Amino acid sequence: MEPTNLMVINGNELPYEPGETILDAARRGYIDIPTLCHLKGTTPTGACRICVVEVKGARTLLPACSTPAAPNMVVRTESPEVVASRKEILRLMLSSGNHNCAVRGRDDSDWTEFQLGVEKDDGSDALCPVWGDCRLQDLAYRYQVTGEGFQGTSARYPMETVNPFIVRDFSRCILCGRCVQACNEVQVNNAISFGYRGAATKIIAAGDRPLKDSDCVFCGECVQVCPVGALVEKDVRYHVRPWEAQEVRTTCSYCGVGCQMHLHVRDNRVVKVSGVEGEAPNYGSLCVKGRFGFDFIGSDQRLTDPLIKENGAFRKATWEEALDLVAGKFKEIRDTHGGDSMGVFTSARVTNEENYIAHKFTRAVLKTNNIDHCARL
């Protein structure tokens, strides 16, 4: 790194790489600049203006996510002007649409005490479905603001619930554009975009048709990046709160890519799946199967014991009994019709070691080369 590639943020001299923004340099230096619209790996838009900072010599506050770092640049991230601007933006957002964040009561009661009370007994649809897991709420709490300073606006568009996986609540959308960028630049599905103009602007799909009638593949990337409660998994909405579930990291078993995911577990049941941000190979992204196809884990139709069919009905058996029966039948078929009368089809949902064992079993025991592999289920 060139010695001249230095800037000052909050009195700290920090290096930066050519092409980086103020936000990039600040995050590497562990300086927090809040954002709502910024999505790593996509084109910065500066749409939300929450990341504005004060730059010495600049006439106005500048968005840190899209302003290039420059030599000897002097930046302040929490000056009085910056904080005042962020508070005003948050007030406008909270007053626009249905943002009942419950960050504070309308009286003068203690903010923290109020939140803890709601967390203890919150079984009400009056709360946002992502209460406790909302970036807008976090910032409202951080800067101690509500939307009560402005006249509230009512919802312009009805909620969309006709697809099988995602609830789209336009009354909670802040038009940050993260879902559009995730769909178009990360997943490259190009299923959604901005539609209409001015106060009528909304996120639309296929000429403002429901997601189920568009090119959406329901990967759920838009849900994962949404910073508010505008996009929520249908099965999770009002069923589980973030603090009620434990995150368990694991590897998706649907194909051979090895996507990293978090299972959100409550009462020993998986209630939600999310991608692990910043980790290879998927870097937080998942397909529709990986994100939504987890109901089989807790299905009451899963086999827990080997079953043997006798006289038209299944009965429970031990593993030894079942394996002896299968081995005997395989041997009978091989000896009677030859090894090439059989074939083996392995799966990406098993380990490399298990696939290797299947390969050896097919060639050495069954005496056939009829083995294939399904790369994706």
Classify residue 101: in a domain, yes or no: no
Confidence of residue 373 (pLDDT cuts 50, 70, 90): confident
141 within some domain: no
Q: Flag whether 178 is in a domain.
A: yes
* Tens digit of each residue's pLDDT (9 = 90 or more) over 232-270: 999 888 788 788 899 999 999 888 788 999 999 999 999
Q: Which of 229, 216, 376 is nearest to 289 (CA)?
A: 376
Mean pLDDT on 52-78: 97
In which band, very low, low, confident or very high, does the pLDDT at 103 lie, cut at 50, 70 and 90? low
pLDDT at 331: 95
With contact defined as beta carbons under 8 Å apart, do 172 and 229 qualify? yes
Task: Tell me which of 52, 78, 104 is where a domain ends.
Answer: 78
What is the pLDDT averaged over residues 2-19?
A: 88
Strand 231-233 relative to strand 246-251, pairing: unpaired
Task: Identify whether residues 311 and 275 lie together within a single domain.
Answer: no
Nearest to 157 by CA among 126, 192, 203, 125: 203
The whole-angstrom separation of Cα 88 and Cα 139 is 12
Please state which of the ranges 106-120, 180-194, 278-292 shows the lowest mean pLDDT: 106-120
Residue 106 lies in a domain: no
pLDDT tens, position by position, 298-322: 898 888 899 999 999 999 999 999 9
| 212-241: average pLDDT | 92
- The CATH number covering residue 227 comes to 3.30.70.20
Between 32 and 147, name the one with better pLDDT.
32
Alpha-carbon dihedral angle through residues 274, 49, 54, 1, given to the nearest 10 degrees: 40
**pLDDT computed for residue 1 by the predictor:** 45
Q: Name residue 287's amino acid.
A: C
∠171-173-175 over CA atoms, to 5°? 135
pTM given for the model: 0.83
CA distance 345 to 364: 16
114 within a domain of the structure (yes/no): no
**61 part of a folded domain:** yes
Cα 141 to Cα 94, 103, 123, 342, distances in angstroms: 12, 6, 21, 65
Kindly report which listed range (47-51, 119-123, 127-131) carries the lowest average pLDDT score. 119-123
Domain tally, the chain: 4
Q: Is residue 134 part of a domain?
A: no
pLDDT average, residue stretch 145-165: 82
Peptide bond into 281 cis (omega under 30): yes
pLDDT at res. 14: 95
Looking at 254, 275, 298, which one is the last position of a domain?
298
- State which residues form the domain around 276: 245-298
- The average confidence (pLDDT) of the chain is 89
Q: Is residue 110 part of a domain?
A: no
Residue 173, C-beta contacts closer than 8 angstroms, at least 6 positions apart: 97, 202, 203, 228, 230
List, in sequence order, every residue forming a beta bridge with 12; answer none if it has no partner: 9
Dig out the tokens for 317 from the structure: 């058996």
E strand or H helix that includes residue 374? strand 371-374
Residue carrying structure tokens 């299905």: 299
Cα–Cα distance measured from residue 255 to residue 348, given in angstroms and rounded to the nearest whole number: 5
Assess whether 180 and 209 both reside in one domain.
Answer: yes
**Cα end-to-end span (Å), the chain:** 46
Same-domain check for residues 328 and 365: yes
Distance between CA atoms of 326 and 354, rounded to whole angstroms? 18
Weakest mean pLDDT among 72-76, 283-287, 348-352: 348-352
With bands split at pLDDT 50, 70 and 90, how would you rate the model's confidence at 146? confident
CATH code for the domain in which residue 269 is found: 2.20.25.90
Say which CATH number the domain at 61 has: 3.10.20.740
Q: How many residues does the chain have?
A: 377
The pLDDT, as a whole number, for residue 255 is: 82
